[in-house]
Amino acid sequence: MGLKRKLVVTAALIEREGRVLLTKRLEGDELEGHWEFPGGALEEGEDLAECLARELREELGVEVEVGEEIAVVEHDYGEFEIELHLLSARIVRGNPRPLGCAGIHWFRWDEIPQESLAPADRKLLSMLRKA
């Protein structure tokens, strides 16, 4: 039995006017159609903040100021595991648009569709609601 692939992934908590930005996974992706906090996998040589800034540039076409780490969760997706780091982020240039995702939406906290969130993101949401 081989070792499972483990990915370190960053995600952004971006809030504006009482709403939080979520992205929808592309068709054909693992977890296609699920909503998630925007971000992506750490590449060799990057720290968490660099990774998140790069991913948001690629995925949403925005430049961000990355803040502090808010939470970390681990999730086993069967074929791979992730260690998901949620960091605060503030958009400093650009308007988010779906360049590397199927869609974006600014959800009110009470409107977030928990049942269609990616499982690791569901764990993050649960932690945020308890805080």
Per-residue pLDDT tens, the chain, 131 aa: give them: 567 889 999 999 999 999 999 999 999 888 899 999 999 999 999 999 999 999 999 999 999 999 999 999 999 999 899 999 999 999 999 999 999 999 999 999 999 998 999 999 999 999 998 86
- Beta strands, E only, 34-131: 35-36, 39-41, 63-76, 80-93, 103-108
The helix/strand/coil state of 90 is strand
Number of domains present in the structure of the chain: 1
Task: Residue 103: give its domain's CATH number.
Answer: 3.90.79.10
The helix/strand/coil state of 91 is strand
Q: What is the DSSP code (8-state) at residue 117?
A: B
Inter-residue contact 42 to 50 (CB < 8 Å): no
Helix (H) or strand (E) holding 58: helix 48-60
What pTM, to 2 d.p., does this model score?
Answer: 0.94
Beta-bridge mates of residue 15: 20
For 58, the domain range is 5-130
